[in-house]
Structure 1
Amino acid sequence: MNSHIAVCRRRLPVWLIPMLWTFALGLWGLSRQHSVWRDEAATWQVARRTAAEIWHMLGQVDVVHGLYYLLMHGLFEIFGPSTTTLRLPSVLATAVAAGCLAVIGKRLAGSWTGLGAGLAFGLLPAVQFYLQEGRPYALVVAGSAISTLLLVTVLKGRGWAMRWAAYGGTVLVCGLLNWLSLLILPAHLATLAWTRAGRGVWTRWAAASTAAVACVLPLILFSRGQSEQVSWIPPLTWHMMIGPAVLLTIGGLGALLDRPRAGQLSAAVVGLPLLAVPQIALIGISLAQPLFLDRYILFSMLGLALLIGAALSAAIRAAAPRFPRASMWILPVAVAVAMVALLPQSLAKRSPDSRVDDVLAVAADVRRLKETGAAVLFIPAARRDTELVSPEAFTGLRDIALMEGPEESGTLKGVEADPARIRAAMLTQQRILLVTDATEVAQPVSAERDRVKTSVLKEYFTVVADQQIRGRRVTVYKRLGTPGPVGPGGMSAAM
């Protein structure tokens, strides 16, 4: 058996097994029982717009995701909208990241480190969550893995100008996908300092990094004008530090087993800064502007996986002299045990219930409960994403609050009429279908328009049907008695 494993390790490139392994994990339950949640719904509905409409929208909202939306627009144009088209880019990107990790680990500490890091990466809970997410975070992880591989390559003495250009270009693309990915630069800087890199390396790294940051800077400055989008992120609390503390503890143990030395390139010298620096930097930023979400620094999991690979490799080296045959099984047994231990989490993350809601499930309820000619309302207006993703489910219903559609207004949810006009329009209806959040996830009504919708429904209508499914709720209201006259400012039912 030893000889078979040794032959496989010699014949197969070290990146192939982790890449295929991660790709298989990504394909497993990819459709999540044909569910799409609100964040992915934003990708879906924007990707179906024309390039001109997307460009118009970016001037108002979500400019930080502009490059990603344009990419997904192209894929939707070629392959059509589906959960596979929505999520497969993230699966492929994560598989590429796992392959890059394997190569990095091999160059730093041998094949076992590379294999361990690449295989462990796809099993990390945070990675499994975003592995199948129709958002840009996995693409940022792939770019971060590529830039780290390029850095390791030049630090190993292969400092061609083209590699530095590729490094700067990769950091730039990641920055355009999510400018917080630039936090990888201080992580790489820490690695350079730890290895006591020469002046030439410092100069080239500084030039490549500065060029990338300079190109991303306009996006950063422009996006500050749209900071209202992240106003919902809560301020830092002590309990939010538990997760980073656990990750840093695990990473620190892996670094100790790798026995890093100043001036020497190793898995710990690359992995520990990659894990710790983005986490600590985002915590620091969040003290001024709450931004602490794990997805913004998902690429730091590359460092954790690399340190886990180093720990597994250390265990194999320690066992090899006394138990040469058994040592060869440490890695596959560790992966199998981790897979079994994480199986409940893995299954949960591939379930529709793993996300806060499902815009497709509620669309099915709308199809069943609607009556042609009835009106439809959304509380809050962002729940209009159900109609934007599944417009056919709303055929025959009139969106009586909408004054200007999302495409025309350059927004994600459209522009609604003022409260008085919404009230007047509601009072002309006999039947209204309301799409809102399920009770367990609903936030208190705050917008004046939504308070008007709620009060009119309560005073003039009665509930005739009510369905809740996967975080969303559809309620059908019927008018009590005879509609009264529409006051001044009334809105046409066709509006």
Structure 2
Amino acid sequence: MTDLRTDGGRGPASTGSSVRRPADGTRGGRPSGPLGRFHHRRWGDAWLIGLFGFLLALPLAGQPSVWYDEAATVISATRDWDDLLRMLGTVDAVHGLYYAVMKVWFDLVGYSPTSLRLPSAAFIGLAAAGVVLLTRTVSTRATGVVAGIVFVVIPRSAWMGTEGRSFALGTLIAVALTVVLVLAARRAGSPWQLQARWWALYGLIAWFGASTFIYLALLVGAHGAVILWAVASARVGRRTVRPMIVSLLGWGVSSIVAGLLSLPLVGVVTAQSGQVGWIKPIGPRTPSQVVLTQLFPENAAFAAVAWVLALVGLAMLVRRGVRLVRARRRSTAEPVGEIAAFESAYLHAGWSPTLLQLAVVWFAVPTILLVYASTLTSPLYSPRYLSYTAPAMAMLVAVGILALRWRPAVAIVTAGLVALSLVQVAHDRGTTRKADADWAGISRIVTEERAAEAPGTEEAVVFGPVRRHPKATSRIVAYSYPDAFRGMDDILLRTPPGDTDGLWEESYPLADRVDEVEGADVVWLVTSDRQDIRPEVAEALTPRGFVRTDDWHVKNANVERYERVPAEG
């Protein structure tokens, strides 16, 4: 008889007898119930892989230059609370809760490029641990371990772990929400008070998720589709649907409450929708964005291997699911033999979402809904906005890998995926890997040059435009690397960001403030290489006794240093 398990035969015995639990309500002496698969011995796998995810993201996390989106986190999370709340009323409300989390973090440890990204590394590690626990709850230990490893090395996950934005936190929330869905579903036959607690927890996490990143609301809708699929499958397989209907009601109530609590945020976010005007409409490139960019940016080799394995895993789950349904239709007796082993290992006897249902719906429904909505309204689909679908892909890939059965083959393929990812991880630690920005390079130049200046040198700085972002200026470099510019006279600054209702500062025109350089010995210019104001600055400074002593071109930006020449005679 074929062994359908993927744990090397360590799961439920594949015999001709029924698989029954001991009378004491345990599985071989281990706790049963909704937390049965979270037995203390099994937490070790989760924490080890979570640590792997954290340590993969941590090395040299501060080396890549901060870029525009991360600078938005910095400038928002370093404001006073009153200033932050005022800003969120006009812009970036969709990221408000994340900014609040980061503000608390910066208040505790201070800001640096490393501290900016450290929480994301921790969130990815916790999400990886959650993927292990979730997957083994609806599958086997081996599937959970492999799924956790695959999740960590998926290129989008590796990117999230070094990004000072809310994507890693959103993915952690998505995993936690799905874990609670499974555990709440398993309590469908419990007293209503206990069920209510689980669904209240689900609603709380759903609200927190939507408040952190509004697109997580799509996952809540996807969970409803999971339950409906389970109801349909139960009817076909002649199983009772009552526990599933109870779960559907619990999900519905908790989702509605979370939605109502989120309505104020939705209203504010809708009013601020113009800030995503940069998203391109759905077009010929959209399929490649879904297949490649969404989870495998800049790593086509990893994408090709992962998709093949995911499709193999999907085919395996579908085939075995069909066999299980057919077996149930032939008999109402408890399944035996390999069907019992498979049901315990993959589909889990009793009411619980299956790995197939969770993984397929988790990836497909948010993607389809967002792409479809983008065709009806203004463009909404950006591949990185669905980064939280990475756990679903990891689960399918894990099943595909374990379909190889031969342990050395499983190890080789898993190691191959890790290697493909590590090559990109090493490459992504380059200074200019984030949006072709090298603000860190500008910071180094300014810092080194200032260190060589005579004590008491008075310096001023002129910040020009920044490439691709007309609402900001090159002052964004100083927000990201403040130490390099500390003590300089920012002559064009009219209103600091914290004193405005918007994200960025307000500036004077150069012509209105050029006389402010009279007290300076050195003037620095940082500007875009596209909206080039160097001629204008030179024309303004030369009559005032300044000459250009150095200039640098640094990845989409120009830096110049002017020094006052003593008047002759």
Tell me the TM-score normalized by structure 1. 0.83
Spell out, residue by residue over 1:5-36, the C-alpha distance to the aligned partner (whole angstroms, 9 max, x if none): 979x9954342332122122122332236x42
CA contact (8 A) 1:376 1:435 kept: yes
Report the Cα offset of residue 272 of structure 1. 0.8
The corresponding residue for 1:129 is 159
Aligned to 1:382: 473
In 2 relative to 1, CA 337–245 (structure 1 residues): closer, same or farther, beyond 3 Å? Answer: closer
Cα 1:203–1:124, aligned 2, differ >3 Å: closer, same or farther? same
- 8 Å Cα contact 1:122/1:128 also seen in 2: yes
The aligned counterpart of 1:273 is: 361
* 2:445 equivalent to 1:365: yes
Map 1:209-228 onto structure 2 (within 5 A): 209-228=255-274
Q: Does 1:243 align with 2:243?
A: no
* From 242, 252, 255, the counterpart of 1:206: 252
Tell me, what secondary structure is at the counterpart of 1:128? helix
Cα distance in 2 between the residues matched to 1:427 and 1:76: 37
Change (3 A) 1:116 1:201: same
Amino acid at match of 1:279: T
Q: 1:228-307 residue pairs with structure 2 within 5 A?
A: 228-245=274-291, 250=308, 251-259=310-318, 261=321, 265-287=353-375, 288-307=377-396
Deviations 1:410-453 (A, max 9, x none): 33321123x4xx3232366576532234x4xx5xx4xxxxx8x5
Matched residue SS, 1:376? strand
Question: Could you tell me how far 1:157 is from its partner in structure 2?
Answer: 4.2
Residue type of the partner of 2:444? A
Give the AA of the match of 1:177: T
> In structure 2, do the counterparts of structure 1 residues 465 and 229 end up closer, same or farther at CA, with 3 Å as the change threshold?
farther
CA distance in 1, matches of 2:555, 2:434: 8
Q: More deviation in 277-286 or 251-260?
A: 251-260
In the alignment, structure 1 residue 191 sits paired with structure 2 residue 280: no
- 1:19-34 matches, within 5 Å, as 19-32=50-63
Superposition deviation, residue 329 in structure 1: 3.4
Offset at 1:477?
Answer: 5.3
3-state SS in 1 of match to 2:321: coil
- Distance between the aligned counterparts of 1:315 and 1:146, measured in 2? 30
| Cα distance, 1:389–1:342 mapped onto 2, change above 3 Å | closer
Q: Shift of the alpha carbon at 1:144?
A: 0.4
C-alpha spacing 1:142/1:396, structure 2 compared with 1 (3 Å): closer
Deviation digits for residues 366-397 of structure 1 (CA, Å, limit 9, x no counterpart): 33456624342231433212222333422443
Q: Report the alpha carbon displacement of residue 301 of structure 1 after superposing the two structures with TM.
A: 1.0
What is the CA-CA distance between 1:72 and the residue it aligns to? 1.1
| Structure of higher RCO (CA pairs closer than 8 Å, 6+ residues apart) | 2
> Whole-Å Cα distance in 2 between the matches of residues 95 and 391 of structure 1?
29
Q: Which amino acid aligns with 2:389?
A: S
**Residue of structure 1 in register with 2:27 after alignment:** none
CA-CA distance at 1:55 after TM superposition: 1.5
Corresponding residue of 2:512: 424
Give the SS at the match of 1:434: strand
Report the equivalent of 2:504.
Answer: 413
Query: How much is the aligned-residue C-alpha RMSD, in angstroms?
Result: 3.1
Q: Which stretch shifts more, 271-280 or 255-264?
A: 255-264
Any runs of at least 4 consecutive aligned residues in structure 1 with deviations exceeding 6 A, and if so which? 3-7
Residue 225 of structure 1: how far off its partner (Å):
2.4
Q: How does 1:83-94 map to 2 (within 5 A)?
A: 83-94=113-124
Displacement after TM superposition at 1:101 (Å): 1.3
Q: Conserved in 2, the CA contact under 8 Å of 1:433 and 1:476?
A: yes
Aligned with residue 351 of structure 1, among 421, 424, 430 = 430
Cα displacement (A) at 1:69: 1.2
Given that residues 54 and 121 in structure 2 are in contact (C-alpha distance below 8 angstroms), is that contact kept between their aligned partners in structure 1?
A: yes
| Deviation of 1:459 (Å) | 4.8
**Unpaired runs of at least 5, structure 2:** 1-6, 12-38, 232-240, 296-305, 326-346, 348-352, 451-456, 467-471
For the 8 Å contact 1:384–1:413, the answer to whether it is kept is: no
2:434 corresponds to 1:434? no
Unaligned runs of at least 5 residues, structure 1: 317-326, 446-450, 483-495
Match of 1:60 in 2: 90
Alignment length (residue pairs): 454
Identity of aligned residues (%): 26
Aligned partner of residue 220 in structure 2, secondary structure? helix
Superposed displacement of residue 172, structure 1 = 1.0
C-alpha distance in 2, partners of 1:329/1:6? Answer: 17
> Aligned partner of 2:213: which letter?
N
Deviation at 1:465, TM superposition (A): 2.5
Greater mean deviation of Cα atoms: 274-283 or 261-270: 261-270
Whole-angstrom CA distance in 2 between matches of 1:372 and 1:294: 47
Distance 1:286 1:433 in 2: 44
Q: Which residue identity lines up with residue 89 of structure 1 in the other structure?
A: P
SS in 2 for 1:466: strand
More divergent stretch after superposition (289-298 vs 11-20): 11-20
Distance 1:219 1:11 in 2: 41
Match of 1:355, as an amino acid?
Answer: K
User: Could you tell me the TM-score, scaled by structure 2's length?
Assistant: 0.72
CA contact (8 A) 1:98 1:118 kept: yes
**Are the equivalent residues in 2 in contact too, given 1:377–1:432 (CA < 8 A)?**
no
Answering whether residue 554 of structure 2 is matched by residue 469 of structure 1, we say yes
**Equivalent residue letter for 1:256:** A
Aligned 8 A contact 1:179 1:216 in 2 = no
Please name the residue that 1:17 is paired with.
48
C-alpha separation in 2, matches of 1:245 and 1:388: 36
2: CA distance between counterparts of 1:151 and 1:310? 21
Structure 1 letter corresponding to 2:279: I
Instruction: Write the distance in 1 (CA, Å) between the matches of 2:517 and 2:369.
Output: 54
Query: The residue matched to 1:315 in structure 2 has which SS?
Result: coil
CA-to-aligned-CA distance 1:138-171 (integer Å, 9 cap, x gap): 0010010011111122333456222211111111
Given residue 162 of structure 1, which amino acid in structure 2 is its aligned partner? R
Distance 2:279 2:550 in 1: 34
SS in 1 for 2:396: helix
